[in-house]
Amino acid sequence: MNKFVKIIIILSLLYFSKSFATNNTAIYEKIDLFSEVLSKINNEYVDEIDQSEAMDAAIDGVLQSLDPYSSYMSPEMLLNMQTETSGEFGGLGIEVGMEAGVVKVISPIEDTPASRAGVKAGDYIVKINDDQVQGKSLSEAVELMRGKVGSSIEITVRRKDVKKALIFKIKREIIKIQSVKSEILEDKVGYLRLNAFNENSSDQVKKKLTEIKKNKSVNSYILDLRNNPGGLLSQAIKISDFFLDEGEIVSTKSRNKLENRKFFAREGDIIDGKTLIVLINYGSASASEIVAGALKDHKRAILVGEQSYGKGSVQSIIPLKNKGAIRLTISKYYLPSGKSISEVGVIPDIEIDEKTEDFRINTESDNQLQYALKLLNE
């Protein structure tokens, strides 16, 4: 038997002998099967394999079998993730996950190369330059999309209800997200566009709302969470609390009881109970769904748009001895109603689909925003 395979078997047996005090025959049989498969691959596969890469792929396969968001990061991948804001590398401006072995766009971030090119939430990335995505891990696919600022990349996507594959040639940029934008629409509607839940998002939201309130003509508000892939749970809680006087905002549940928590609103509605419409779409995920779901459950806002993405889980980056890490789902979000967001999302009170292919948020082609404004004028 190959020395490499023997080492893996020994390490595996040591681990499982510590982890399972009782008889676990089935587990040992699986370890034996795993070692047999490794040996067959190493001795009989048509090409010589990189054994280290094969083991990384096996580890990643275990994690990806859990859910679309858990994955393995080699030391190189972890380092790249930690330094991606240094200015050396550029990106496309999309939040992605894994589904059925293909990279799925959770949300294109507003005013980034991907959104300007026309990439949409729900698109499946099947090819990156000349590399097929099928069979690659999420981390590997993300690595392929990274590159020098100013360099170009070609991605091929499949889109629901579109027969032909779509090809986008995109130039990489340093992604700088303007978390919050605001304006007054039709002289009386306070419009707040939230693109992400970053460390200072709640402070920016509070500042923008305070500025809007100075205009005494404003009698209603629109909170736009479309194509917002989420971010920090703490920010979602604070922003939800701005519009609620009391009650539960969100809870997290896990196998680890220390992760089971409930978060509640404090007294004080920053817009004094004025009418609030929240816009969501398939690109609204995670923290966006917490805010939209809490406001809907408390009947504090009317939700308009499309069903949200359904990413209701919390991931933690857990360091490993080899200086790599695993991204592991450690808990799930639950709305005040007790419903899980995972894979279901938040359903709007009024469903309005994007009308045209050239749809752009907060432009004349934005039929969802136009509907919200019409609703406020009735």
The answer on 282 and 196 residing in a single domain is yes
The model's confidence at residue 171, banded by pLDDT at 50, 70 and 90, is: very high
3-state SS class at 73: strand
| In a domain? residue 66 | no
Residue 163 bears catalytic tag: no
Residue 297 bears catalytic tag: yes
Written as one string, the DSSP assignment of 173-189 is B------EEEEEETTTE
Please give the residue range of the domain that contains residue 295: 180-313+331-377
The model's confidence at residue 136, banded by pLDDT at 50, 70 and 90, is: confident
Residue 311 bears catalytic tag: yes
Contact 144, 160 (CB under 8 A): no
Which of 171, 193, 226 represents a domain boundary (last residue)?
171
CATH number at residue 131: 2.30.42.10
| In a domain? residue 71 | no
> What was the pLDDT predicted at 138?
83
Rounded to two decimals, the pTM is: 0.80
> What was the pLDDT predicted at 90?
72
Number of separate domains in the chain: 3
pLDDT tens sequence across 290-311: 999 999 999 999 999 999 999 9
Euclidean distance between CA atoms 322 and 373, whole angstroms: 54
DSSP classification of residue 109:
P
Written as one string, the DSSP assignment of 22-33 is S--HHHHHHHHH
The model's confidence at residue 161, banded by pLDDT at 50, 70 and 90, is: confident
Which of 146, 171, 196 represents a domain boundary (last residue)?
171
More confident residue, 14 or 89: 89
The answer on 299 and 184 residing in a single domain is yes
Q: Which of 120, 208, 238, 311 is catalytic?
A: 311
pLDDT tens sequence across 203-233: 999 999 999 999 999 999 999 999 999 989 9
> What was the pLDDT predicted at 6?
44
The answer on 138 and 31 residing in a single domain is no
| In a domain? residue 63 | no
The answer on 141 and 191 residing in a single domain is no
| In a domain? residue 38 | yes
Contact 171, 113 (CB under 8 A): yes
Q: Which of 56, 67, 123, 297 is catalytic?
A: 297
Neighbouring C-alpha atoms within 13 Å toward the C-beta of 99: 14
| In a domain? residue 67 | no
The answer on 98 and 34 residing in a single domain is no
| In a domain? residue 291 | yes
Q: Which of 286, 288, 308, 313 is catalytic?
A: 286
The answer on 147 and 185 residing in a single domain is no
**Cβ-based neighbour number of residue 320 at 10 Å:** 14
Euclidean distance between CA atoms 325 and 293, whole angstroms: 32
Which of 115, 149, 171 represents a domain boundary (last residue)?
171
